[in-house]
Structure 1
């Protein structure tokens, strides 16, 4: 019996270790129109694998089409005037399935952008780390996978980005970004302006604006300018979000059509999720039955019976 309890304790410890997963955050890539892809090539694509920021950068370049303007190719036709890399800090992967969002404006903007764009991809599980800023990891990933470099493009940053270098162009307010977007639309050189919008927006904000409000302003600015654009939103959770991480499994929901309309953040489990949950349930049931079997065998082995019986005495 003691051995059976030891097996059960080992199983419980293994389950606790497996449940202590690292913090992950979602990333979304979308382009409203005129992106260079046909509408049936990539629409509301979701990659459920857990990936690193550098692998995210590789997927954005290869599957998301950013290599056509990020990597130096003189003969490439220009499909994008402005590309935005928006670094957030408010969203974890577990927040996707919650009814009450930390930043409702952010959730609404991401939901509408993902479902209403001509091209959209989602990466719900991007592993995050405090060792390196997300903007540095993404740019490093772009550099590693762009063998010819970024010679044709202008990469600029907001003043909250943790990057350094010579001739580093930074923005201190939204008006400066607006001026770049307007000038980039009429730029005949074929360059794509890549703007890295880091967490917090700007160092000197006149009013306290949430991350969702800043992203919404940026999206509206791009729409009003008429510039052909694409946006990558990626989150590196920080602060109080990391103090109380959710222990519940992340639901697999992003967008689903219902009666001809599109709604996000639904609470349904898709086919792959059902298969995995069924296998997990079967595994636990098998372990319990195995423990019961071992316990029963050990109990039977512990029963002592005499090897022979004496004949009854005659009266």
Structure 2
């Protein structure tokens, strides 16, 4: 998968030097352990076309296997304990091809996770309007694409998320750890828990922690617990593409 990451960086560099390259942000999906995929399914997928957050959500559900995890289904045994939607704001598409990163921990974490996981997907170009929130767009995209419903009963959020105060929220990593351990103890018939980790993580968090440090801490927690997990990292893009024809389309 190192070759796939190199291809992503190369294509982003090409877009960066284009005359009218849009401002976009990347998204990466990975699962350390292959879940419910037959052996003939591709294990590394890169989408080079510009996508909206709702189309990203649809691809994650259909191609990334999340429809079996987060969509409401009857009598479905869970293959994954926890699915994490990690929403960031520090990474734009053009940053991937740079030699030096503003948040090197984040870049290294994403690269290592993408290249070493048993299944991974990359979406180099995610674009949306300036007044939209990535959190809202992705969650509504999941809801629209889940034919059997997308209930709140198996979704929790960090307290920086802009959702109803009545929903379950995490105020620190210890709270997430308790949820993960609870999920491991449940029977296979239990539902996969979707954790929405919003930008900044927690309201009372020390501001000195970078986005990369938060993601690394979360991954370390999941690995140490022994949980089966999958993560979708997506960064808030700013601005709509003015001339999409300047970018390569299609998928390798």
TM-score range, shorter chain: 0.7 to 0.9
CA shift, 1:132, in A, is 1.7
CA shift, 1:155, in A, is 0.6
- Is the deviation greater in 149-158 or in 70-79? 149-158
Which residue matches 1:61? 61
* In 1: Cα distance, 2:25 partner to 2:117 partner: 21
CA contact (8 A) 1:52 1:127 kept: yes
> Bigger relative contact order, structure 1 or 2, given CA contacts below 8 A and separation 6+?
2
Which residue matches 1:190? 190
- Is the deviation greater in 219-228 or in 199-208? 199-208
Question: Structure 1 pair 39/235, CA: closer, same or farther in 2 (3 Å)?
Answer: farther
CA shift, 1:150, in A, is 2.5
The alignment partner of 2:29 has SS state of strand
Question: Structure 1 pair 137/210, CA: closer, same or farther in 2 (3 Å)?
Answer: same
Tell me the C-alpha RMSD between the 2 structures.
2.5
* In 2: Cα distance, 1:62 partner to 1:34 partner: 15
Which residue matches 1:181? 180
Unpaired runs of at least 5, structure 2 = 1-17, 240-245
CA contact (8 A) 2:34 2:119 kept: no
Query: How many residue pairs end up in the alignment?
Result: 228
1:30-80 C-alpha deviation (Å, 9 max, x unpaired): 000142224652322100000000000000000000001211221323111
Task: Provide runs of 4+ in structure 1 moved above 6 Å.
Answer: none
* In 2: Cα distance, 1:91 partner to 1:178 partner: 26
CA shift, 1:21, in A, is 4.3
CA contact (8 A) 1:106 1:213 kept: yes
CA contact (8 A) 2:127 2:237 kept: no
CA shift, 1:128, in A, is 3.1
Which residue matches 2:140? 140
The alignment partner of 1:84 has SS state of strand
Which residue matches 2:162? 162
Question: Structure 1 pair 151/136, CA: closer, same or farther in 2 (3 Å)?
Answer: closer
* In 1: Cα distance, 2:213 partner to 2:111 partner: 14
CA shift, 1:163, in A, is 2.1
1:174-227 C-alpha deviation (Å, 9 max, x unpaired): 110011000011122411110000111111114610000000000111111111
Which residue matches 1:231? 231
* In 2: Cα distance, 1:208 partner to 1:237 partner: 23
State how 1:1-315 maps to structure 2 within 5 Å.
19-38=19-38, 41-151=41-151, 154-164=154-164, 167-188=166-187, 189-206=189-206, 208-237=208-237
TM-score (norm: length of structure 2):
0.83
Unpaired runs of at least 5, structure 1 = 1-17, 243-249, 253-271, 274-315
Question: Structure 1 pair 89/150, CA: closer, same or farther in 2 (3 Å)?
Answer: same
1:135-165 C-alpha deviation (Å, 9 max, x unpaired): 1100000000112112485111111112236
Question: Structure 1 pair 207/49, CA: closer, same or farther in 2 (3 Å)?
Answer: closer
CA contact (8 A) 2:126 2:237 kept: no
* In 2: Cα distance, 1:39 partner to 1:173 partner: 38
The alignment partner of 2:131 has SS state of coil
CA contact (8 A) 1:90 1:237 kept: no
